Amino acid sequence: MPSTSTLRKAKLTVTISGDVVNKIDEIVKKRRTPRSQVMEEMLRDWLLKSQKREIEKDIEAYYLSISEKERKEDREWTRIAAEGAKRTWDD
């Protein structure tokens, strides 16, 4: 993915309910930041959270799909990793 500094900005027209606009304008006033910057930060944050939720759903689906034997093996690897991490931190 190209860095954000190499991407051109696009001007959009959107319709948003008044209560949301009021909240955004409160943030704009408090932070003394342009509305477009606040909106971009909000959208970027929403996109990141949305991606995180998708990853969490995929992880949950994976663990629901594995057998009991695989779960037991996973718990054992987790125990081994935790013990190794504890030894590393205790040194």
**Domain boundaries defined on the chain:** 16-90
Q: How many angstroms separate the CA atoms of 24 and 35, rounded?
A: 7
pLDDT score at 90 = 82
How does pLDDT run across 34-72, given as a tens digit for each residue? 999 999 999 999 999 999 999 999 999 999 999 999 999
3-state secondary structure of 28: helix
Residue 33 DSSP one-character state: -
Residue where the block lists tokens 């190794």: 84
Q: How many angstroms separate the CA atoms of 75 and 58, rounded?
A: 19
